[in-house]
A and B are shown apart, each in its own frame.
Chain A
Amino acid sequence: MSRDHVLHRVRTALGRSAGQPPTALPRTWIRIPDVPLEERVDQFCLALEALNGKTHRVASPEEARARVEGILAGRTAVLSNSALLTECGIHRIQAAQVGLNDRVRLRQACASAEVGITGANYVLADTGTLVMFSSREEARMISLLPPTHIAVVRREIFLTGLDELLTLVPVPSDRSSSMVFITGPSRTADIEQILVRGVHGPGEIHTVIL
């Protein structure tokens, strides 16, 4: 058995024996700054725009819907099952595919749609990051396959940064098989270190803040 062989070699190299408890684990290094909500929203917008992402602040669900329609400008879209999208009436927008719960059909829809519209579970203000858990509300592909991604988010989910997220969700695997951080549009600099956006993921990203 390779498993036992490898473990035996590791223990021999370290001078440890099977079942021996580990030495004292160093404490974590977590620092959560005190940043008021309004400032967190400002920080997020600044950070995301620096990466060429777009941010839109809206005052009501109706305005959110109007803004999303404006961004779409007639393009086809796939929507996630996020309750917030329904609340804003975004699911009623024409040319939007809604309620896809079958893996294969969803993937086909995402591969041909021009825009993917989702919610988000958290937002990290300092780095301009969206945090998304895969769930019955949010599929993995909607924020990934279409060339444009629109996320509609509430202010209440704005955290100061990574440290606060890992304090709220210390073991992310308890929530989902997949937690993804999205920080700006997909990019590459593999040829001559020249920046190109939209290589595999969306090259255009919008966040509508309610």
Chain B
Amino acid sequence: MNPLPRQAIHATLADANLQLAIYESTGRLMQKRRTALDSPLAADFQSWREQANRIKRHTIENLDHYLELIEQNLTRNGGKVIWARDATEAADFILQLAKDNHALRIVKSKSMTTEEIDLNERLEHHKLEVVETDLGEYILQLAHERPYHIVAPALHKTRYDVADIFTEKLGVEREVVIEKQTMIARAKLREKFLTADIGITGANFLIADSGAVVVVENEGNARLSSSAPRIQVAVAGMEKLIPRAQDLAVFLKVLGRSATGQPMTVYTSFLSGPRRPEEIDGPEQFYLVLVDNGRTRLLGDRNKRESLFCIRCGACLNHCPVYRKIGGHNYPWVYSGPIGAIISPQFHGVTQDPWLPYASSLCGACGEVCPVKIDIPRILLELRADVTKVKKREGAAWLERQAFRLWSFLMRHPKLYELAAMAAPAVLPGDGRWLRSVPGPFRVGPVAGWLRQRDLPAPAARSFRQLWRERRSRS
């Protein structure tokens, strides 16, 4: 059981530059989404969400059927499907592939699934050169950090941080102009693209009826990774499936708008196997690695399996008051924000980071913006219930249970409840709106911690029940 990383969180909260970077970036992303949804082109947005949810539910509930279908269709296109139970199997396949083809250099476009299975470390361990080519990911690879955000991985880095990283790691002259920094990365990476043997991409969608992988991006690095090297490998979680290419009519529309406020991202690649004989260029070999890595465990839970509908747009992160304060690196796994808070415990068990489902104010923003309508707040509550069950079984949280027992007793005895409500203003004196002070005996343990960041409203002079009675006697 890992405790709440209190120190790290306080460090994030105390770092004014970092706070500004997170707040500004997520704020801009929220604004872009809002603007895109206000356009007449997005008048049907709520219907698209409904449809996206319907399609994902159907696919997940019949997942075995669509897994077999994409395998069949991709094989017919000349590609090959590889099934990986876990991170090791996925990495082992790519290692063997590199060995068989005498490949030394691999270019990679952004993929959360490969982050999840620590693919780079595993390949580098075997002396392969793996180069991240998305600008944000490239910066983080040089800095040896994991993504801060699902869509904007280097959201926490300023131009000055990037200048330091480039100077130190690339040996270039210090450069703080963002356009010039981008051109430095372009030049360095262009050379890698043209000499790499294998290109690895993720997948935003897997299309069962076409045997295809869909990759959405803005930079062009995914197009280069999938088309320049002679071997292409797409690594994807099994839940990325959708039944038909025609379903993209809703999914592409909700994804771009929710992620970055774009009606259509700059590049959308629909890739369905190796180069065909009549085509001039493209990869000679094409592989799709379907990753389980714990997904089948989630699938069994009827109440929470909708967590697998996620299309990784990052909107729930941008709109989350908790993420916007504590940032991405204080979450225990590569998936941060509300979606991370619901999927990490389901992959690793609720006891690994029992505080995680509580890292939410339950304001509901995540559920409202989710383009596939995952009920994140409800799942957070269910996970809290799971944590409590474990704690109860282990006899933990004794004080909390006594407190709720007392509360439940009072709620069931109205006369006693009223007495307590009348006594409260006397025990907890306030200025009418906020408590002036909380008496010493109450400032202990979790209560003290809670009060450090909050003002407690003072009990009303007259209770609701009193007001109600007065009103009735008047009429």
Given A167, A174, A176, A200, which contacts B224 in the complex, CB threshold below 8 Å? A200
Cα of A37 to Cα of B89 in the assembled complex, Å? 52
Interface 9-residue window, one of A4-12, A61-69, A90-98: A4-12
- Give B133's nearest chain A residue, CB to CB: A200
A25-B243, A107-B228, A179-B270 known; A172 vs B249 contact (CB < 8 Å): no
Instruction: Flag whether B394 is at the interface (Cβ < 8 A).
Output: no
| Binary contact readout B48-73 vs A (1 if CB under 8 angstroms, 0 otherwise) | 10010011001001111111100001
Within 8 A of B (CB), among A137-152: 138-141, 144
Is the CB of A134 closer than 8 A to any CB of chain B?
yes
Task: Report if A13-B211 is in contact (Cβ < 8 Å); known contacts: A163-B249, A201-B267.
Answer: no
Residues A107 and B267 in contact in the complex (CB < 8 Å), given A29-B51, A141-B227, A173-B73: no
Provide the A107-124 mask, 1 if CB < 8 A to any CB of B, else 0: 100010000000000001
Nearest residue, chain B, Cβ from A134: B279
Q: B282 and A189: CB pair below 8 A?
A: no
How far, in Å, is A88 (CB) from chain B's closest CB? 21
Q: Is B375 an interface residue (CB 8 A)?
A: no
Binary interface profile of B, 384-420, with partner A (CB < 8 Å = 1, else 0)? 0000000000000000000000000000000000000
CB distance from A108 to the nearest CB of B (A): 9
Report the Cα distance A199→B220, complex, angstroms.
Answer: 8
Assembly CA distance A120 to B157 (angstroms): 38
Query: In angstroms, how far is the closest chain B Cβ from the Cβ of A8?
Result: 9
- Chain B residues with CB under 8 Å of A174's CB are 210
Interface-forming stretch among B119-127, B182-190, B441-449, B465-473?
Answer: B182-190
Interface size class of A (residues with CB under 8 A): 35 or more
Which A170-210 residues sit within 8 Å CB-CB of chain B?
170-174, 176-194, 196, 198-202
Is the Cβ of B220 less than 8 Å from the Cβ of A26?
Answer: no
Chain A interface helix/strand/loop/mixed: loop
- Provide the residues of chain B in CB contact with A163, threshold 8 Å: 249
The 8 Å CB contact of A177, one of B139, B228, B246, B271, is B271
Evaluate contact between B273 and A199: CB separation under 8 angstroms: no
> Provided the pairs A178-B282, A183-B265 are in contact, do residues A191 and B48 lie with their beta carbons within 8 angstroms?
no
Contacts of A10 in B (CB 8 A): 63-64, 67, 238, 296, 299
Ordered by A's residue number, 29 sampled pairs between the chains whose C-beta atoms are within 8 Å are: A6-B85, A13-B299, A16-B62, A16-B65, A29-B51, A103-B280, A134-B275, A140-B281, A173-B210, A173-B212, A177-B77, A177-B272, A178-B270, A180-B223, A181-B264, A183-B262, A185-B266, A188-B135, A190-B136, A191-B181, A192-B178, A193-B24, A194-B178, A196-B182, A198-B186, A199-B220, A200-B133, A200-B189, A200-B223
What are the nearest 8 A-B pairs in CB distance? Answer: A201-B220, A173-B272, A190-B136, A200-B220, A22-B62, A13-B299, A13-B300, A9-B296
